[in-house]
């Protein structure tokens, strides 16, 4: 289980900055981190990241960069200059792309965690087959995970169902960031490979990305507290 005292990353998947900042006002930066993804960043830009950081929050910039090595490296360098806590790339971009991203971040004054996306948690085996990958999702995750590790990345975005095997393979220092986490009884949405927060941490996850069960709750703060209590009981 994670030793980090802030394992929950709340996904601010909002269509504008206003609701994201409103929710941030109600949360404690000493107890959680925040994720800014494609929709919010595209609509609100770097300013929303800066505003969240000014409130004391560490931000995971979840843009999943996947491009030629030079372009990806430049994007990671820009993210580092923005001051984010964590940034990610697609491992399927290959070794040269990941190594270029690693070098770009290491060259800067601020060094965010650099992690790789393996197989999206929304994807099933049938969907992998449709794009020409005739393999089980877990096997593809491990293949890309080893490539990311060899390329010097700090960790992975992965399904909680793969966390135990990845933890055994790469040890305690490799970060495992787990989306697709749902409290018991919550709607699974478009996620396919899910676990409860307690199960994910017990399986070896370092951080839990949780969005709708908190952000769409009638009382988001109460929903967050409930998940925190579930985690505390499981430890």
CATH number at residue 185: 3.20.20.70
Task: Give the model's confidence band at 123: pLDDT under 50 very low, under 70 low, under 90 confident, else very high.
Answer: confident
From 6, 28, 67, 175, active-site residue? 67
CA 105 to the chain's CA centroid: 18
Computed over every residue of the chain, the mean pLDDT equals: 91
pLDDT at 190: 46
Nearest alpha-carbon partner for 213 in 169, 172, 165, 179 = 179
Residue 201 and residue 10: Cα distance in Å, rounded?
16
Residue 130, sorted as left (phi over 0), alpha (psi -120 to 50) or beta, turns out to be alpha
pLDDT at 223: 95
Q: Domain for residue 78, yes or no?
A: yes
Question: Residue 34 forms beta bridges with which residues?
Answer: 10, 59
pLDDT of 235 over the 80 cut: no
Q: Domain for residue 15, yes or no?
A: yes
Question: Given the structure tokens 């980090």, which residue do they identify?
Answer: 4
Residue 182, domain extent: 8-234
Nearest alpha-carbon partner for 40 in 181, 211, 173, 199 = 211
Q: Is 120 annotated as a binding residue?
A: no
pLDDT at 5: 86
Q: Domain for residue 2, yes or no?
A: no
More confident residue, 208 or 194: 208
Q: Domain for residue 210, yes or no?
A: yes
pLDDT of 3 over the 80 cut: no
Q: Domain for residue 226, yes or no?
A: yes
Residues of the chain above pLDDT 90, percent: 76
From 6, 64, 139, 165, active-site residue? 64
Contact 211, 10 (CB under 8 A): yes
What is the average pLDDT across 60-83? Answer: 98
pLDDT of 58 over the 50 cut: yes
pLDDT at 212: 93
Residue 92 and residue 101: Cα distance in Å, rounded?
13
From 62, 126, 187, 190, active-site residue? 62
What is the average pLDDT across 125-138? Answer: 88
Q: Is 187 annotated as a binding residue?
A: no
What are the tens digits of pLDDT across the range 157-206? 988 888 999 999 999 999 999 987 877 655 545 444 457 898 899 999 99
Contact 159, 193 (CB under 8 A): yes
pLDDT of 128 over the 60 cut: yes
pLDDT at 172: 92
Residue 89 and residue 101: Cα distance in Å, rounded?
8
Contact 71, 89 (CB under 8 A): no
pLDDT at 232: 78
Task: Give the model's confidence band at 225: pLDDT under 50 very low, under 70 low, under 90 confident, else very high.
Answer: very high
SS3 category, 134: coil
64 is catalytic: yes
Q: Domain for residue 3, yes or no?
A: no
Q: Is 226 annotated as a binding residue?
A: no
Q: Domain for residue 1, yes or no?
A: no
Name the domain count of the chain: 1
Contact 59, 36 (CB under 8 A): yes
Q: Is 67 annotated as a binding residue?
A: yes
The dihedrals phi and psi of 23, each to the nearest 5 degrees, come to -65, -40
Q: Domain for residue 171, yes or no?
A: yes
Contact 53, 81 (CB under 8 A): no
Torsion from C-alpha of 29, 122, 132, 95, nearest 10 degrees: 10
């Amino acid at each position: 289980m994670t030793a980090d005292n802030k394992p929950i990353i709340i996904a601010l998947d909002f269509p504008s900055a206003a609701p994201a900042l409103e929710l941030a006002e109600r949360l404690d930066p000493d107890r959680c981190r925040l994720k800014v993804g494609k929709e919010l960043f595209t609509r609100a830009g770097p300013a929303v990241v800066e505003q969240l950081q000014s409130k004391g929050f560490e931000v995971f910039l979840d843009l999943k960069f996947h491009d030629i090595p030079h372009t990806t490296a430049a994007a990671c360098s820009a993210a580092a200059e923005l001051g984010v806590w964590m940034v990610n790339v697609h491992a399927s971009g290959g070794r040269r792309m990941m190594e270029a991203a690693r070098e770009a971040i290491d060259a800067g004054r601020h060094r965010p965690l650099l992690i790789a996306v393996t197989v999206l948690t929304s994807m099933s085996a049938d969907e992998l087959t449709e794009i020409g990958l005739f393999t089980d999702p877990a096997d593809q995750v491990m293949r890309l995970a080893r490539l990311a590790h060899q390329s010097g990345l700090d960790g992975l975005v992965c399904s909680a169902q793969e966390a135990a095997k990845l933890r055994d393979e790469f040890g305690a220092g490799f970060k495992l960031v787990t989306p697709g986490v749902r409290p018991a009884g919550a709607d699974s949405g478009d996620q396919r490979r899910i676990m409860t927060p307690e199960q994910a941490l017990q399986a070896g996850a370092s951080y839990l990305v949780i969005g709708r069960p908190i952000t769409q709750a009638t009382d988001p703060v109460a929903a967050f507290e409930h998940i925190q209590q579930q985690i505390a009981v499981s430890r």
